[in-house]
């Protein structure tokens, strides 16, 4: 152990001995090793400083000081106005009869520890010990990347943070009040459902500050198409069939009339996909257009389909205006409802329908 090392222990006896050597106390000067009352060892309150701030170390002098020094653990930072430390962040602030103050700029975690001010007065040596605690704001240093998984997968998100005091980690899903309270670095979501897709937020908190980051979970699942809604259209009018699919990733659509695949621009039709919706438009419905249509929604996880009937509706007249189009508009979404209401027309056009 070095001579300075003895300061760390700062037992009164050792401190006196070390002081004598450190401060080159003339041998003739009275050092009352047996007189404990003549030596003051003060443990001051802890100083808490945040990373990056400037730490001021102040030490009272008094009496007639012969030698004085500031130490960081076992190394001398300043002996009087003489700088021993090679650290450019350390500098002298004040050295006079009343105080001996140094500062350490841009404090870091490694500066945490014990600092000792050793003073030799004409009468007795004094050591003042200061515990420096360095606080570090939380910082998330390791976070899961955005992920894409298939429904049913087990998902584990990770969030690790540094900071002093050690940060508390919590997770929550943004856009959902349901809290996923977990005080763990890891958030486990077993057999994930599509409802649990979304943006998850990891928060690291300590006494000093908060750090927040987010992870997106995309849950892939096979398409589900809503039931087809049969559509009645008057000959020569515009007809529209709509097919909606819930899928991630978004579905591709295919349209069939019976077994025949339909393509855009074919026979006066237009097929437009907008997100989850595909729309098949007939600009001018002809006899041959009536019949059974099937929409198929496909993504890499699977497919789903539904069928629609496009049936004939008589040209609206004063009498059918009251019944016909209304029936279609009010159509409750169930093909049955439509059929009941339009029973009249179906009967009237049975010969037409027979063609299909
Ligand atoms: C200073 O901090 C240390 C370590 O956290 C603790 O053990 C000690 O009691 C504190 N002293 C004072 C005076 O607060
Ligand atoms: C204090 O000592 C520690 C350990 O040797 C060192 O890492 C740190 O940089 C020192 N700080 C100052 C301000 O000298
Ligand atoms: C998910 O975890 C459960 C329980 O740990 C396990 O039984 C199941 O096989 C896992 N599923 C997948 C897709 O890894
Ligand atoms: C619809 O097609 C028929 C037969 O091809 C044609 O006579 C009629 O003018 C067309 N109507 C419209 C609005 O294009
Ligand atoms: C329409 O076609 C689909 C697929 O070929 C078939 O499953 C369905 O039964 C047909 N619907 C009618 C009303 O014929
Ligand atoms: C839809 O059908 C339900 C019962 O099947 C009925 O109660 C409701 O009034 C209908 N709505 C319309 C708009 O026809």
CATH of residue 131's domain is 2.60.40.10
Of the pLDDT bands very low, low, confident and very high (cuts 50, 70, 90), residue 320 is very low
Of the pLDDT bands very low, low, confident and very high (cuts 50, 70, 90), residue 43 is low
Examine the pLDDT at 288 and tell me if it is beyond 80.
Answer: yes
Residue 123 shares a structural domain with residue 206:
no
Ligand 2 midpoint to CA 110 (Å): 6
In this predicted structure, what is the pLDDT of residue 177?
A: 61
Residue 58 shares a structural domain with residue 118:
yes
Residue 120 shares a structural domain with residue 46:
yes
Which pair of structure tokens corresponds to residue 246?
Answer: 């819930």
First to last CA, the chain: 102
Probe ligand 3: pick from 154, 190, 191, 193, max atoms within 8 Å of CB?
154
Is residue 11 a part of any domain in this protein? no
Tally the domains of the chain: 4
CA distances in angstroms from 213 to 143, 157, 175, 180, 184, listed in the order given? 8, 12, 15, 16, 15
Name the least confident of 113-127, 233-247, 338-352: 338-352
Examine the pLDDT at 174 and tell me if it is beyond 50.
Answer: yes
Residue 59 shares a structural domain with residue 93:
yes
Q: Is the CB of 131 under 6 A from ligand 1?
A: yes
Ligand 2 midpoint to CA 111 (Å): 5
Please state, rounded to an integer, the average pLDDT across all residues of the chain: 80
| Cβ atoms of 41 and 12 closer than 8 Å | yes
Is residue 46 a part of any domain in this protein? yes
Residue 131 shares a structural domain with residue 164:
no
Residue 271 shares a structural domain with residue 305:
yes
In this predicted structure, what is the pLDDT of residue 184?
A: 83
Ligand 4 midpoint to CA 233 (Å): 14
Q: For the residues 133-141, what does the mean pLDDT come to?
A: 95
Query: Cβ atoms within 10 A of the Cβ of 112, count?
Result: 17
Last residue of a domain, one of 220, 238, 269: 220
Is residue 182 a part of any domain in this protein? yes
Is residue 297 a part of any domain in this protein? yes
Residue 46 shares a structural domain with residue 86:
yes
Is residue 25 a part of any domain in this protein? no
Examine the pLDDT at 228 and tell me if it is beyond 60.
Answer: yes
Examine the pLDDT at 321 and tell me if it is beyond 80.
Answer: no
Residue 237 shares a structural domain with residue 281:
yes
Residue 123 shares a structural domain with residue 44:
yes
In this predicted structure, what is the pLDDT of residue 291?
A: 95
Of the pLDDT bands very low, low, confident and very high (cuts 50, 70, 90), residue 178 is low
d(CA 272, CA 76): 79
Residue 246 shares a structural domain with residue 327:
no
Beta bridge partners of 201: 172, 214
Last residue of a domain, one of 220, 247, 275: 220
Residue 188 shares a structural domain with residue 245:
no
- pTM of the prediction? 0.66
Percent of the chain with pLDDT over 90: 60
Is residue 279 a part of any domain in this protein? yes
Examine the pLDDT at 339 and tell me if it is beyond 60.
Answer: no
In this predicted structure, what is the pLDDT of residue 316?
A: 59
Last residue of a domain, one of 186, 220, 254: 220
Is residue 5 a part of any domain in this protein? no
More confident residue, 125 or 33: 125
Domain boundaries, position 308: 226-312
Q: Which ligand is nearest to the CA of 156?
A: 3
Q: Is the CB of 165 under 6 A from ligand 1?
A: no
Is residue 4 a part of any domain in this protein? no
Nearest ligand 6 atom to alpha carbon 331: 14
Ligand 4 pocket, CB under 6 A: 236, 284
């Amino acid at each position: 152990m070095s001579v300075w090392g003895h300061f760390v222990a700062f037992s009164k006896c050792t401190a006196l001995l070390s002081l004598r050597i450190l401060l080159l106390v003339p041998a003739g000067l009275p050092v009352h090793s047996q007189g404990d009352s003549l030596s003051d060892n003060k443990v001051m309150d802890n100083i808490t400083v945040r990373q990056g701030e400037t730490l001021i170390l102040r030490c009272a002098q008094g009496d007639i000081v012969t030698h004085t020094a500031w130490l960081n653990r076992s190394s001398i930072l300043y002996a009087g106005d003489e700088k021993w430390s090679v650290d450019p962040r350390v500098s002298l602030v004040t050295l006079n009869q009343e105080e001996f103050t140094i500062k350490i700029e841009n404090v870091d975690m490694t500066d945490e520890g014990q600092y000792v001010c050793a003073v030799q007065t004409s009468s007795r040596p004094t050591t003042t010990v200061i515990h420096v605690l360095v606080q570090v704001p939380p910082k998330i240093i390791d976070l899961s990347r955005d992920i894409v998984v298939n429904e049913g997968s087990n998902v584990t998100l990770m969030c690790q943070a540094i900071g002093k005091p050690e940060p508390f980690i919590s997770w929550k899903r943004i856009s959902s009040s349901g809290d996923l309270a977990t005080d763990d670095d890891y958030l486990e979501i077993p057999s994930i459902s599509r409802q649990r897709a979304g943006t998850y937020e990891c928060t690291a908190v300590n006494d000093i500050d908060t750090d927040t980051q987010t992870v997106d979970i995309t849950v892939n699942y096979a398409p589900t198409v809503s039931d087809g809604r049969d559509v009645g259209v008057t000959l020569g009018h515009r007809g529209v069939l709509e097919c909606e699919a819930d899928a991630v990733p978004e579905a591709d659509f295919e349209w069939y009339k019976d077994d025949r695949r339909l393509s855009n621009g074919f026979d006066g039709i237009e097929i437009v996909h907008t997100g989850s919706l595909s729309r098949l438009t007939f600009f001018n419905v002809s006899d041959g257009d009536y019949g059974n249509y099937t929409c198929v929604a496909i993504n890499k996880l699977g497919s789903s389909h539904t069928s629609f009937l496009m049936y004939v509706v008589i040209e609206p007249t004063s009498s059918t205006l009251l019944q016909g189009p209304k029936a279609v508009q009010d159509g409750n979404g169930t093909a049955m409802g439509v059929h009941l209401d339009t029973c009249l027309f179906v009967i009237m056009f049975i010969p037409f329908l027979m063609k299909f």
